[in-house]
Structure 1
Amino acid sequence: MEQLWLTEILKSIGRFFLHPVFYYAIILALVAGAARVKRERNDFHIRIYSSFLELRDLFPAGLLAGLVLSAVSVAVGVAVPLTVLAAVAALTIVFSLAGNFRFLSPAFTIGIPILAFSAVKWLPAGVQEKIGSPSFGMLAGISVMTGLLLIAEGFLMLTSGAKNIPPKLRKSRRGLTVGAFSAKRLWLVPVVCFLPSGPISLPFSWWPVMGWGGHTFSLVLVPFLLGFQHQIQSTLPAPAVKRIGTQVIWAGVLTAAIGAAGIWLPYLPVSAAGFAVLARGWISIRHRIRENNASYYFTQQNDGIIVLSVIPGSKADKMGLVTGEIISKCNGQAVRNMDEFYRALQINPAYCKLEVIDTNGEVRFAQGALYEGEHYELGILTVENKMNLETDEAL
C-alpha cells in the first residue's frame, strides 16, 4: 500500500511538470516583465525593476499557499474530473491572453467552469455522458476549493501584493500628467487534488468528507495560476491593495461556506460559484468606481515635490525615501519643482540634506553623502508637468 501511494505521489509530481499551465505561467511572467520594463523606459527613461520581477514573484509565495491548500484538499478529499481541469487550464490561458490579470482570479477561472458544467446537467443524458458532467458531490468539493483559492489570493495580496508595485504616468481628465500604480501580480499555486478514478482505494471509511461517488482515485498536482491587476491613483498603493485583499478573503470564506453546505443541498455548489464570480467582479468594479471618483494623489504639490517611487538600491533608497513623501527643502532651500531641486543640490555637491514631509504629515530629515555626478542619479521618480516630462521625471 505504501509503495502504491509513493508511486502515485511521484506520478502526480510528473503530471505537474507536464501540465501546460506550468510552462505557460513562466512565459507569461517573462512577457509581462518585458512589457513592464518597456513602459517604465517610455515613462521614466529608466528601468525601475528587473525584467525578472514577475518571474521571481511567481513561485515562492505560491508554493507556500499551495502546501496549505494541499493539506486541506487531502484531508477533505477534493476530486476534480479531467474535463474540469482542462476547462480551468483553457480559461486561464484565454483570460491571460486578454491582457488583464484580474480575470485570473479563481472566481473566474474555476467558478465559470462550475457554472458551465452544472448547466450540462440540463442536457440529455447522452450528451452529459460524453462531456463528463461531474456529480453534485464533486461540484461541492470544487466550489470549496474555489473559495479556498480565493482566500489564498487575498492572503497573497496582503503579504506580497503591495511590494515593488511599479509606477506609471498617465493623463488626468484635465490633460495633466499624474502618477499612478499598476498593481499586477502572478502566483503559481500547486494544489494536490484527486482524479475520480485510479489504482488507490479509499483509505478511511469516513473519507472523502465531500463524497464524490467513487471508490478509487489517483493523485494529481495541479498548477493553479492566480493573478490580480488593479490601477491605483487616488491613494498610496499599499493600503489600496490590502483593502482589496481583505475583501477577496471574505469573498473566499463565504464561497467556501456556501460550497460546503452543498453536501446537504445539491444546488448550493452552483450558487457558491455564482457568488464567487459576482463578488470578485463587484470588488474590481467597486475599486474602479472609487478610483475614478476620487482626486488624484500623485500630482504636483504646492509645498514640495511628491515622491512617486524610489529606484531600489539607489541613493534615495539608502536615504530612506519612500513613495508618497514630499520633499519640501533641499540643503535648506524650499523646492517646488525639479529645476529648484537641481539648483539646491548644487549648493553642497558633496552632501545632500532633505526636509521631508512623510505620509503621516510629519516632518523628518533625510541626508547622505554624494559623489561627483551622483546628484543626477539619486533614484527619485516624481511627477512634473508635461513640458518638463522629457527630462525631469527621473532623478
Structure 2
Amino acid sequence: MEKGVFVLGAYDGWQIANALWDGARMLLENPLLYLGTALMYAETYRTSRQERGFFGFRLTRAWRSVGLRWVYAFIAGLIASAISVASGLTLDVWGVGAVVVLSILLACIRLRLCATVYAIAILVALSRVLLMLPVPSGPSWLRETWLHLARQPVSPWLAAAALCLLLEVGLLLVGRYRFVAPAFVQSKRGRAIGAWTSQLAFVVPVLWVAPGGHPLLHTPWPWPLLGGLGAAGATLAGIPLFLGQSGLYAALTPQGAASIRAAYDAVCGALLAADAWAVVHLGPTWAWAGVLIALLGQEAATWHVHWRELLADPLYAPVSDGVKLLAVVPGSLADTMGLKPGEIITHINQVPVQTSYDLHFALDQNPAYAKLQVYDVRGEMRLVGKPVFSGERAKLGLILAPDVPGVPSYRRRRVGLFQTLYLKAQTSGNSYEDVFVDVDPAPPHQT
C-alpha cells in the first residue's frame, strides 16, 4: 500500500461511510448480538426473581442492569474499534463467521465456553491443522470452506484475542462495584449463609478491518501493522465479543474475584500481543503458543477464583454476639447512617441483639430514635444514631446474614461467563421472613 500524506476528501468520506455501514449491518445481522443480550437479561431477571424468595422484595432491576451494561459495552466497543481500525487488524469475513459458529457450539456445551477468546483460540488451532492436511476432494462448498479456514490470518486473530482480554480487564474493573446483588448460599455444613452474586457479562460490538471493495486510504503510518490486506481494498466487519465473568461468592468479595480475573487477563493479553508479533517476524509456528496462552489462561483464572473461594472462610456467616449485615439498601435509613456490609450490630438503643427477632424488639423500645453499636470488619466499635421520622421506620434497609433455619439458598457455586444461570435454590416450607428487617418494598436504587 502506498504511503503519503493523509488527506481525507469527499470521496474518501463516502467510502468510509460505506465501510461503516457494512460493519454496522454485519453487527445487526449477527445472531450473537441477540443471543448475548438475551442471556444477559435472563441472568439478571432470574436474580431479580430469586431475591423475592430470599428477602421478600427486589433489589435488582433487570432492564436497568442490562441497559447500563450495554452502555459500558458500547463505550468499550468504540474504543476497541478505534484501536483495531487504526492498527489495521484485518480479519477475514469467513473467520468472523467461524467464530460465531464456534461460539454457539461452545455455548451448547457450557455457557462459560462461549467467551470469544475460546472461539478465537480454536479457530487459530483449526487453521493450523487444516493447513497441514490435504484439501478434500468432496463438494465445492466443502473445499471452499476448507481453504478459507486454512488461510485465516493467524497473527491478526491472536491480536484480536489480546484486545478481547484487555477490554475484559477494563470492563471488570469498572463494573465490579456496580453489578452485584446479595444472596444466600448453603455452606459446607449445609446451613444458609450470606453471599453475593456478580454478573459482569458483556456483549461488546467491535468493528474490524476486512478485505473488501472500498479503495484504501493513503496514511502516513505503516498500515495494516500485521498485514492481511491485498490491493482489492478494505471494508469493515462487525462482530460482538462475549466478555466478562459471573459468579456467586461467599468467601471472596465480588470485587476481589473480578480483580483476580483481571490480573490473569492483563498478563495473557500482553503475552498474546507479543505472540502475534512473533508470528509475523519469527514464523507461524508461534501460533500454537498463542492457542495455549488463550486457553490455559482462561482456565487458570477460573480455577484460581474457585480455589480461593473454597479455601477461604465465609464472610457472611452468622455470629453469636450480634447480627451481621449482608447488605444495605441504597437510599435507606441504614444507608444514611453509614452502615456497611460485613459489619456486626451488637446493641440497638442499649439493648443487646443476637438475632433478627432481638433487633426488632430493640427497635420497638424507642420507635423515634435508633442508636446502634456497630463493629466494622476490622473489629473497631463505633456508635451511630439517627432520629426515625414518620415513614422511615418502614425503610430501615438492613439485610442480615440468615440466622434462622428454613431459608432458601443456592445449592452450588460457579464462576465464569453467564454461570449464575446455573444456580439452583433449595427452598423450604419453613418461614424465612425474619432474615430481612424493614426494607422498602420498592427501593429507588439498584444494588
Structure 1 length normalisation: TM-score?
A: 0.90
2:224 to 203, 208, 212: 208
* Mapping 1:127-138, distance limit 5 Å: 129-131=144-146, 132-133=148-149, 135=151, 138=153
Residue in 1 aligned with 2:60?
A: 49
Give 1:141 shift.
0.8
User: In structure 2, what residue type is equivalent to 1:7?
Assistant: N
Secondary structure of the corresponding residue to residue 133 of structure 1: helix
Task: Note if 1:310 corresponds to 2:328.
Answer: yes
**Structure 1 letter corresponding to 2:226:** M
- Please give the alpha-carbon distance, in whole angstroms, between the structure 2 residues aligned to 1:353 and 1:95: 54
List per-residue Cα deviations over 1:25-49 (Å, max 9, x = no partner): 3222222222111221222222111
Greater mean alpha carbon deviation, residues 372-381 or residues 143-152? 372-381
Partner of 1:323: 341
Does the residue aligned with 2:405 lie in a helix, a strand or coil? helix
Kindly provide the CA deviation profile for residues 308-344 of structure 1, in whole angstroms up to 9, marking residues without a partner as x.
1222333223332222222222222232211111111
Instruction: Provide the secondary structure at the position in 2 that maps to 1:154.
Output: helix
- Find the aligned partners of 1:92 and 1:354 in 2 and give their Cα distance: 52
Q: 1:208 to 1:315 in 2, by over 3 A?
A: same
TM-aligned CA distance change 1:317 to 1:96, over 3 Å? farther
1:14 paired residue number: 25
Q: 1:99, 1:352 → 2: CA distance?
A: 49
Identity of aligned residues (%): 25
Amino acid across the alignment from 1:191: V
- Asked if 1:217 is matched to 2:238, the reply is no
Aligned with residue 125 of structure 2, among 101, 109, 115: 115
1:84 partnered with 2:101: no
Residues 217, 351 of structure 1: alpha-carbon distance in 2 compared, 3 angstrom cutoff: same
Q: CA separation of 1:84/1:316 partners in 2, compared to 1, >3 Å: closer, same or farther?
A: farther
Tell whether the 8 Å contact from 1:166 to 1:181 is kept in structure 2 after alignment: yes
Aligned-partner Cα distance in 1 for 2:114–2:331: 32
Matches within 5 A, 1:15-30: 15-30=26-41
Structure 1 match to 2:256:
239
Structure 2 portions without partners, runs of 5+: 1-10, 137-141, 408-431, 438-447
Tell me the amino acid that sits aligned with residue 433 of structure 2. Answer: T
Superposed displacement of residue 213, structure 1: 5.2
Shift of 1:80: 1.4
Counterpart-to-counterpart distance in 1, 2:338 and 2:105: 42
- How far apart are residue 157 of structure 1 and its match? 0.8
Q: Is the Cα contact below 8 Å between 2:179 and 2:200 reproduced in 1?
A: no
Could you say which residue in structure 1 is the equivalent of 2:74? Answer: 63
Cα separation, partners in 2 of 1:206 and 1:372, compared to 1, 3 Å = closer
1:257 corresponds in structure 2 to 274
Q: Which consecutive unaligned segments of at least 5 residues does structure 1 have?
A: none
Mapped pair 1:229 → 2:239: no
> Hey, what does 1:351 align to over in structure 2?
369
8 A contact 2:45–2:61 mirrored in 1? no
Deviates more, 1:196-205 or 1:283-292: 196-205
- Matched residues in 2 for 1:350 and 1:176: separation? 36
Residues 222 and 353 of structure 1, relative CA distance in 2, 3 Å threshold: same
CA contact (8 A) 1:12 1:221 kept: yes
| 1:276 corresponds to | 294
Structure 1 contact 54–185 (Cα < 8 Å) conserved: no
In the alignment, residue 148 of structure 1 is paired with which amino acid? Answer: L
Q: Distance in 2 between matches of 1:393 and 1:325?
A: 16
Counterpart secondary structure, 1:299: coil
* Cα RMSD (Å): 2.4
Task: Please state whether the residue corresponding to 1:48 is helix, strand or coil.
Answer: coil
- In structure 1, what is the Cα distance between the partners aligned to 2:351 and 2:119? 55
Deviation for aligned residue 1:183: 1.7
> For residue 434 of structure 2, what is the amino acid of its counterpart?
D
Deviations 1:286-313 (CA, angstroms, capped at 9, x unpaired): 2111211222111011332211122233
- TM-score, reference length from structure 2: 0.81
2:182 aligned residue:
167
Deviation at 1:84, TM superposition (A): 2.1
